[in-house]
Amino acid sequence: MSGLLGKKIGMTSLYDENGKNIPCTVIEAGPCTVTQVRTKAVDGYDALQLGFDDKTDKSSTMAEKGHFKKANTSVKRKVVEFQDFKDEFKLGDNVTVGIFKEGEFVDVSGISKGKGFQGVVKRHGFAGSERTHGQQSMLRAPGSVGAASYPARIFKGMKMGGQMGSKKVKVTNLRVLKVVEDKNLIIVKGCVPGHKNTYLTIRK
């Protein structure tokens, strides 16, 4: 689906026509530059590669500089392909937040906040064991994870402690509450993954 790249600014709240307070997220969406045009004749499918947020020459490779030079633009930090654009864009064109309209729904994906190594109570919502009857050392332990002599192993996928967060998460069907074209901002209902300044992919 068509869409844009953006950056999470933060959360705020708006009031609707009924006076209800709605939590929402402010996203800086675009402008994105068309850095490559995929066609069925050459690549087997139609798509636009969009780039967002400039990257310094010092931290750019020669291959990156050569790729973005074709689009006559600076090297971009984030590059993602989008399909099914209704409007036609050429190499080097800018795609702005104007492609979104108030009231429509979008899917937003990004990298969630990293929380480090966490136990089963925080990571999977385990209740923990009872706090009475002499129990003192297993309050937040997972309990039995394996079996006895058979099968004498732990099955793959067992819920245990481990790294939590820092994964790609998609939040679907977020309503667009407001589009501020002059400031390249889009305000969506609810929350989106990641901390402030996280790169986001917004798809219609």
For residues 171 and 159, membership in a common domain is answered with no
Q: Are residues 107 and 124 in the same domain?
A: no
- The verdict on 100 and 179 lying in the same domain is yes
Half-sphere CA count of 8, side-chain side, radius 13 A: 23
Span of 83-92, 152-161, 175-184 with lowest mean pLDDT: 83-92
Q: Within this chain, do residues 25 and 109 fall inside the same structural domain, yes or no?
A: yes
In this prediction, residue 150 carries a pLDDT of: 85
* Residue-level pLDDT at 57: 87
Q: What is the mean pLDDT of residues 65-86?
A: 89
| Average pLDDT across the chain, whole number | 91
Digit-coded pLDDT (tens) for 2-21: 889 999 999 999 998 899 99
Structural domain boundaries enclosing 40: 3-114+167-203
Residues 50 and 146 in one domain: no
Q: Could you tell me whether strands 94-95 and 162-164 are parallel, antiparallel, or unpaired per DSSP bridges?
A: unpaired
How many domains are there within the chain?
2
Helices (H), ranges, the chain: 40-43, 62-69, 120-124
Asked if the model's pLDDT at residue 54 lies above 80, the reply is yes
CATH assignment of the domain containing 14 = 2.40.30.10
Q: What is the DSSP letter of 154?
A: P
pLDDT per residue as tens digits for the range 110-142: 999 999 999 999 999 999 888 888 888 888 999
Same-domain check for residues 60 and 124: no
Residue 92 shares a structural domain with residue 153: no
Task: Taking residues 71-89, report their average pLDDT.
Answer: 87
* pLDDT tens-digit readout, 166-182: 999 999 999 999 999 99
Both 105 and 121 in one domain: the answer is: no
Task: State whether 45 and 80 are in the same domain.
Answer: yes
pLDDT one-digit tens code per residue, 86-106: 778 888 888 899 899 999 999
The pTM of this model reads: 0.83
Please give the span between the terminal C-alpha atoms of the chain, in angstroms, as a whole number.
6
Q: Is residue 70 located within the same domain as residue 125?
A: no
CA distance 97 to 166: 27
* Same domain, yes or no: 178 and 124: no
Is 135 in the same domain as 176? no
